[in-house]
């Protein structure tokens, strides 16, 4: 297969909720090992696929994610790919060794590239978590013990029998990642009554509410009666007109009323606007 070279974005999420500049080593890897897929490439891949790619080709699905593991003696034997047919058939692929020490970082960098190229159809965190879920399944099939966020922060010694290795496969908690973006914004918000613009996140459906209230915490408690995990992730002292401005700016991503399907790039725009 022949691929075209591409460049990656400057930022990506590391671990559960941090935004940092992409390390030079990761950036170089992404530039070298992530490529565009042509229609010919995709049709060739579909011949060895068990369904998802064919579902995109036939129009049953508009896109798909996938992973392949080649002969373990092959260099860059682990393949992550994304295929889309919203308008025209296209895709992206990334190759590296499945036992690569920076496997999680590379997967995250690739997810960022996918989100950059297909912003209307993908979410950075969901893309990364999808690849991590596939990776964890593949590693378990190889008789390796995998663990994620559920025990990563616990103290103690891990003893595993009859396994050929142990792998850490982290996932990103979307609410915690969103909260981290605005961790410093909330420090300067006055507790006095006054108009406030807030962002509230519902982890059940992944939607973000852009609202306005004199007492946003009261509004939060009201909505928590329906969804206990709903939480304010950002708040600013700001005039009423700001709410309308934000609603208009993200109107294409409106789900209903004040609820929007926002991604990390959208939240970064809001953060910059509210400085």
pTM: 0.79
Distances (CA, A) of 29 to 7, 63, 161, 273: 10, 25, 34, 33
* CB-based contact 267:250 (threshold 8 Å): no
- The residues facing 134 across adjacent strands are none
Cα separation, 221 vs 213, in Å, equals: 13
Whether residues 138 and 39 fall in one domain: yes
- Residue 266 has phi, psi (to 5 degrees) of -65, -45
pLDDT of residue 2: 34
Cα separation, 98 vs 188, in Å, equals: 45
Most confident of 7-21, 66-80, 100-114, 144-158: 100-114
Residue 133: pLDDT band with limits 50, 70, 90: very high
Closest among 61, 97, 63 to 77, alpha carbons compared: 97
Domains held by the chain: number = 2
Whether residues 16 and 125 fall in one domain: yes
Percent of the chain with pLDDT over 70: 80
pLDDT of residue 161: 61
Whether residues 114 and 205 fall in one domain: no
pLDDT at 21 over 50: no
- Show which of 98, 133, 168 is a domain's final residue: 168
Structural domain harbouring 189: 174-273
pLDDT of residue 69: 84
Whether residues 15 and 137 fall in one domain: yes
Whether residues 26 and 128 fall in one domain: yes
Whether residues 164 and 31 fall in one domain: yes
**Does 47 fall in a domain?**
yes
Residue 144: pLDDT band with limits 50, 70, 90: confident
Whether residues 102 and 64 fall in one domain: yes
**Does 65 fall in a domain?**
yes
Tens of pLDDT, residues 153-182 = 555 555 556 566 788 888 988 888 898 888
**Does 207 fall in a domain?**
yes
**Does 142 fall in a domain?**
yes
Cα separation, 12 vs 26, in Å, equals: 10
Whether residues 103 and 184 fall in one domain: no
For 122-147, what is the mean pLDDT?
90
Residue 141: pLDDT band with limits 50, 70, 90: confident
Whether residues 105 and 142 fall in one domain: yes
pLDDT of residue 31: 79
**Does 145 fall in a domain?**
yes
Whether residues 97 and 206 fall in one domain: no
- Show which of 168, 195, 224 is a domain's final residue: 168
Residue 212: pLDDT band with limits 50, 70, 90: very high
For 31-41, what is the mean pLDDT?
90
Residue 194: pLDDT band with limits 50, 70, 90: confident
Measure CA of the first residue to CA of the last residue in the chain; give whole Å. 47
Whether residues 131 and 181 fall in one domain: no
pLDDT at 107 over 50: yes
- Alpha helix stretches (DSSP H) within the chain: 24-33, 39-46, 52-57, 103-117, 124-141, 149-152, 174-181, 216-224, 241-249, 264-273
**Does 123 fall in a domain?**
yes
pLDDT of residue 1: 36
Of the ranges 14-23, 142-151, 156-165, 215-224, which one carries the lowest mean pLDDT score? 14-23
Whether residues 240 and 143 fall in one domain: no
């Amino acid at each position: 297969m022949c691929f075209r070279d591409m460049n990656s974005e400057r930022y990506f999420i590391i671990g559960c909720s941090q935004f940092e500049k992409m390390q030079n080593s990761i950036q170089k890897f992404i530039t070298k090992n992530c490529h565009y897929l042509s229609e010919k490439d995709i049709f060739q891949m579909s011949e060895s696929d068990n369904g998802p790619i064919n579902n995109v080709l036939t129009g049953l699905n508009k896109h798909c994610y996938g992973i392949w593991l080649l002969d373990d003696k092959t260099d860059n034997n682990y393949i992550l790919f994304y295929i889309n047919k919203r308008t025209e058939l296209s895709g992206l692929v990334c190759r590296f060794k499945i036992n690569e020490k920076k496997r999680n970082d590379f997967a995250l960098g690739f997810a960022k590239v996918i989100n950059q190229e297909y912003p209307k159809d993908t979410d950075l965190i969901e893309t990364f978590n999808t690849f991590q879920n596939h990776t964890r399944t593949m590693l378990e099939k190889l008789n390796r013990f995998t663990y994620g966020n559920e025990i990563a922060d616990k103290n103690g010694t891990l003893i595993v029998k009859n396994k050929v290795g142990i792998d850490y496969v982290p996932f990103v908690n979307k609410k915690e990642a969103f909260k981290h973006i605005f961790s410093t914004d909330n420090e300067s918000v006055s507790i006095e009554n006054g108009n406030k613009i807030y962002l509230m996140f519902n982890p059940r459906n992944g939607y973000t509410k852009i609202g306005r209230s004199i007492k946003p915490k009261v509004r939060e408690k009201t909505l928590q009666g329906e969804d206990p995990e709903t939480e304010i992730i950002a708040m600013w002292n700001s005039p009423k007109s700001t709410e309308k401005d934000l609603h208009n700016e993200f109107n294409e991503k409106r789900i209903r009323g004040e609820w929007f399907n926002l991604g990390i790039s959208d939240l970064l725009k809001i953060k910059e606007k509210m400085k």
